Amino acid sequence: MKYEFPQDFWWGSAASGPQTEGAADVDGRKPSIWDHWYDIEPGRFFNDVGPANTSNFYYQYKEDIQLMKETGHNSFRTSIQWSRLIPDGIGEVNPKAVDFYNRVIDEMLANGVEPFMNLYHFDMPMSMQEIGGWENREVVSAYSTFAKTCFELFGDRVKHWFTFNEPIVPVEMGYLYDAHYPNVVDFKRAVQVAYHTTVAHSLAVKEYHALEQGGEIGIILNLTPSYPRSQNPADIRAAHIADLIFNRSFLDPVTKGEFPADLVDILKEHAILPTYTEEDLAVIKNNIIDILGVNYYQPRRVKAKEYAAHPDAPLMPEHLFDNYEMPYRKMNPYRGWEIFEKAIYDISINLRDNYGNIPFFISENGMGVEGEDRYRTADGYIDDHYRIAFIKDHLKWLHKAMAEGANCKGYHLWTFMDCWSWANAYKNRYGLVEVNLDQDYKRTIKSSGRWYKELSDNHGFAE
């Protein structure tokens, strides 16, 4: 069977500035929360590997963009680091950063690679975190100014903009589960951070549309479908609550301009509604996105609560449902994530049926594997056949959704080249291209990278 995709389909990959650029303390860049956290707690990072150097894109971007071309990219998403462009979060723009991002954008366009540019990928400037981060309205205003600055500097050439990547992740990891800085465990503060992030997003959308630059602006959401253990009403209710908290908390306001009423009721019931204004709600209502990026990695499986939480324990989302491990589920053992390809179809059909068939693209999907060196061939490249199979199995379900009317415009893999991955550092490799940290960041295309070129050239694949 031939799985054929449109001629103008976006084939590419996604990355971020803080995970690839390196050059963390040169040319005027100032620390982000990641630099600070590593300085004070290096033991929280896999093998004590911090964010200073990452994959050296700052110096090797020309080589990397050539490799994008060689691996079939017609598009590529990365991010502009706030801490590089406006090092203090507010105030002066760094001319060396402007020069760098101009050179990257121009090089991409010269090689037929359309730039997709994201503005915030978990990388709060430390100067902004010191005044409260997303809990502080001043930071919301500073972000809006940062966004407008980016549009004015680069919007003549960048026509695909995204305000945030996975905005639920800093909420979860930084304010609920002690997995990212600032390591807060407080549901009410988490809700405030989520709310202010939504306001910041909407203000950036407003700024972009006002400039009338002829492009489009959206947001990148990691949509993780919540599947109930059974059709028992209690399990279905539990899955609905998880979906409200982890998916619809951002999906609804950015596409429909309002928060789900059921979610607001839950926040009221537990006395954790954020501080808000009617003016904010009007900004959210009137500034919805043009396009949605969908990151998909794993499903969430949920069941009704079996035991009540301890009365003295801090309130958590899991006080309202239990996570459920389905027997015999297919797993990526290196990441600890379930592999469930059909969810990419379910997401697409949900967007078709419940979100006005909004234009979207798969902005991340990928498989991280530890110890890939064991798959090295005699010719010196990594034969990552498992990654090819992973991509194919997801594309089959995406193809089915598109055949049934889902409005998908492209597929971006996470990621182009092996990169530093937050607290996991280089534990798992995701790239189409190997980065050898022991040989001056030497790049070598993997089997998946060569196959991805065929996929893009043929607008699909046959089986």
Q: What is the pLDDT of residues 387-397, one digit of tens each?
A: 999 999 999 99
Q: What is the CATH number of domain 2-462?
A: 3.20.20.80
Active site residues: 364
Each residue's pLDDT, cut to its tens digit, for the chain (463 residues) gives 999 999 999 999 999 999 999 999 999 999 999 999 999 999 999 999 999 989 999 999 999 999 999 999 999 999 999 999 999 999 999 999 999 999 999 999 999 999 999 999 999 999 999 999 999 999 999 999 999 999 999 999 999 999 999 999 999 999 999 999 999 999 999 999 999 999 999 999 999 999 999 999 999 999 999 999 999 999 999 999 999 999 999 999 999 999 999 999 999 999 999 999 999 999 999 999 999 999 999 999 999 999 999 999 999 999 999 999 999 999 999 989 999 999 999 999 999 999 999 999 999 999 999 999 999 999 999 999 999 999 999 999 999 999 999 999 999 999 999 999 999 999 999 999 999 999 999 999 999 999 999 999 999 999 9
**CB 315, CB 187: distance < 8 Å:** yes
Q: What is the DSSP string of 380-423?
A: SSB--HHHHHHHHHHHHHHHHHHHTT--EEEEEEE-SB----GG
Which amino acid is located at 342 in the chain? K
- In which element (H, E) is residue 202 found? helix 187-211
Could you report the per-residue pLDDT of 429-457, keeping only the tens digit for each? 999 999 999 999 999 999 999 999 999 99
**CB 434, CB 415: distance < 8 Å:** no
The confidence score (pLDDT) of residue 319 equals: 97
DSSP annotation of 315 reads: P
What is the Cα–Cα distance from 279 to 281, expressed in whole angstroms?
A: 5
The confidence score (pLDDT) of residue 53 equals: 80
Mean per-residue pLDDT over the chain, rounded: 97
pTM for the model stands at 0.97
Q: How many other C-beta atoms can be found within 10 angstroms of the C-beta atom of residue 230?
A: 12
